Amino acid sequence: MKKAVIPAMICLALGLTAKSQINMNKKQVYWPDVKPPVAEQKQHLHKAHGDVRIDPYYWMNDFFKKGPDSTKVVDYLRAENNYYSAMMADTEKFQDVLYTEMRSRIKEQDESVPYLKNGYYYYTRQVEGKDYYLFCRKKGSMDAKEEVLLDVNTMAEGHTYYSVSGISVSPDNKWIAYGVDKVSRRQYQIFIKNIDTEMILEDVITNTEGDPTWANDNQTIFYTAKHPVTLLSERIMRHKLGTNEQEDVEVYKETDPANYIGIGKSKSDKYLFIYSQQTLSTEIKYLDANTPNQPFKVFQPRMKEVLYNVDHAGDLFYIRTNLEAKNFRIMTATEDKTHAKDWKEFVMHYPDVFIGGMQVFKDFMAISERKDGLTRIHIIRFENNIGHYLSFDEPAYLASLAYNPGYDTDVLRFNYTSLTTPSSVYDYNMNSKTKVLLKQQVVVGDFDPNRYVTERVFATAADGTKIPMSIVYRKGFTKDGTRPMLLYGYGSYGANMDATFSSVRLSLLDRGFAFAIAHIRGGQEMGRSWYEDGKMMKKKNTFTDFIDCAKYLVNEKYTTPKHLYAMGGSAGGLLMGVVVNLAPEMFNGIVAQVPFVDVVTTMSDPTIPLTTNEYDEWGNPENKEHYFYMKSYSPYDNVEKKSYPHMLITTGLHDSQVQYFEPAKWVARLRAYKTDNNKILFHTDLEAGHGGASGRFKSLKDRAREYAFILKLEGITQ
């Protein structure tokens, strides 16, 4: 992140008297008299199960199809950007202030904590004034001479978007393979570079997941190839250094379009693993990494509604699985007997403890667990199977296992953060039970965590379920029902939205806002059942949980609907779309980032990237029951003639996860139906995709845009 001189005005806002100063300087919200674009309507009908859906903006999906309306699509998106710029023109200087402020908290010249692998210490280094990083190493000691393996700042020159993925060094330390995406469609090219000569081989591999994985012969890499239209990961390929991509050998082809596939390597570096996984089932194939030309073998054939993942260390395979264990357990298998009938239980299942991950060492196992919605780290000594836990004191936090490539070591590296504690890296001695702080994210300026308060509270859902929320605000925040608050949510795919630190968020907290994360069903914060109760035919729990969290905040006088804002992205953008249909009166403003809002249409079109992978999450519209359930909440299909909150909706033209036309259509329909004078603003990044701008500084402009919108609605202009 970044560092810069802070103007005097910002210093005032960051000072101890910030809240009172800002409240005194609130202004009436001003919107210029500018008319929004009016999207053309064309007759298009979707028919299924005897039902007809009218979709007058279906033509907007033409950009990638390169049809007759392609140019018209981009013209419309530009018109919306122009409208956004006109409506937010009075915040342009304020956005610059916010950007400078956010950047000023970042230590620009910085480097990561090094890790030791195969005789080298690897780390990333960031240079003042630069968006990207250098990937470096030193041999044997951090006092040795630095080798810069990749200078991403130089590589990214001339590109408006640049992302490097899957950096992988060969076992003999002589080659580095990596993926590059220059468009933000997540279609990576793989490059292979000779570290000694710095020569990049001519055998560039296109249209991949950017996941090169080395065999132990130092001449072979495996990777995942994507379908060029659907972008599904569909084949695992073997590539020999110095050969043409057309000569690559297919070692596995996925025939089920509902599966995600990929390839990786065991901690021991002895085995390669191909995984094929749906939401509810897994199959893994394995191969000795010393014999890359041999066929892969099935570890355990796919079982209905059974997930498993595998690692190898010592002379055993370790399997994390939900086989007869909803919240997962850990099993072991010998190298010659890998089928489930021969697995032996190592860590048993507990109905109130969710096992999220594991790492194996020579004498210990480290397990990432969740209990009562909070993370914990469980250490087990193999010698006697006696375990202990690392303790953490804050009411809401995230403790997670870091990258630990070493096997014969007593030291575990883990990460820790909270809403008030910057990201921290620790080494923990599993023998002596002592921990050492190696690095904590530097927040440049006068940041003091003691100025902020964290809470963990529970809202009650309509069905009686207790929904946890993590809350942070600056000391002096009074619960009198007049203060502004931003509520964030996601609630899909079993993804956990934990209580983590953000230096960017300080720009809201120091202006009197409170910030809350709603840990709603659809995530996995409270265990596997938490996820299962927020997907498929129970998906509506996700949405009503969020609304009940909002009601709790109002009832407990943290805020009122006039000062309550909500934000979510991607599937969290779907959440925003449903919430404004169900309870628009609860919010003054909404920020929906790259929102998945046209659920039925997208899930009915297998040519749209990633659709078929999602059937176990949302349902398959070919199934009548699934179709009508999805239709009953799909934001685009449920826009009504009524009042809606102010809304800022964002997308990226090259987004491969949620195509740009979903939010574009939604905005057009909202404008056509809404009965209020509230503003709907739509901004498209014409050079980026799902994750927005690349680079540590460019993304701050996106955050400044969103914060300026929310702050404008509060009348806060400095």
Positions marked catalytic = 570, 655, 690
Q: Rounded to whole angstroms, what are the CA distances from 645 to 534, 564, 579?
A: 25, 10, 11
Tell me how many helices (H) and strands (E) the chain has: 15, 39
Q: Is 391 exposed, middle or buried (0-12, 13-18, 19+ CB in 10 A)?
A: exposed
Q: What are phi and psi of 121, to 5 degrees?
A: -95, 125
Q: Rounded to whole angstroms, what are the CA distances from 638 to 45, 436, 480, 567, 597?
A: 16, 53, 35, 20, 10
Residue 412, Cβ neighbours under 10 Å: how many?
22
Give the C-alpha separation, 86 to 37, whole Å: 12
Provide the token pair at 14.
């960051």
Are the C-beta atoms of 166 and 188 separated by less than 8 Å?
A: yes
Please spell the DSSP secondary structure of 318-377, one letter per residue.
Answer: EEEE-TT-TT-EEEEEETTB-SGGG-EEEE--BTTEEEEEEEE-SSEEEEEEEETTEEEE
Give the C-alpha separation, 367 to 329, whole Å: 10
Provide the token pair at 382.
């193999």
Give all strands of the β-sheet with 329-334 in edge-to-edge order.
308-313, 316-321, 329-334, 344-347
| HEC profile of 517-572 | EECCECECCCCHHHHHCCCHHHCHHHHHHHHHHHHHHHHCCCCCHHHEEEEEECHH
Residue 388, Cβ neighbours under 10 Å: how many?
12
DSSP code for 614: G
In 3D, which of 211, 19, 251 has the Cα closest to residue 716?
19
Give residue for tokens 């199977």. Answer: 385
Provide the token pair at 373.
């919605």
In 3D, which of 576, 597, 598 has the Cα closest to residue 587?
576
Which helix (H) or strand (E) segment holds residue 297: the answer is: strand 297-300
Q: How crowded is the C-beta side of 505, counted as CA atoms within 13 Å?
A: 25
Residue 135, Cβ neighbours under 10 Å: how many?
21
Give the C-alpha separation, 417 to 435, whole Å: 15
DSSP code for 451: G
Provide the token pair at 380.
């087990």
Residue 352's contacts (CB-CB under 8 Å, 6 or more residues apart) are 327, 371, 372, 527
Give the C-alpha separation, 199 to 191, whole Å: 11
Give residue for tokens 């569909």. Answer: 234
Provide the token pair at 124.
């990333």
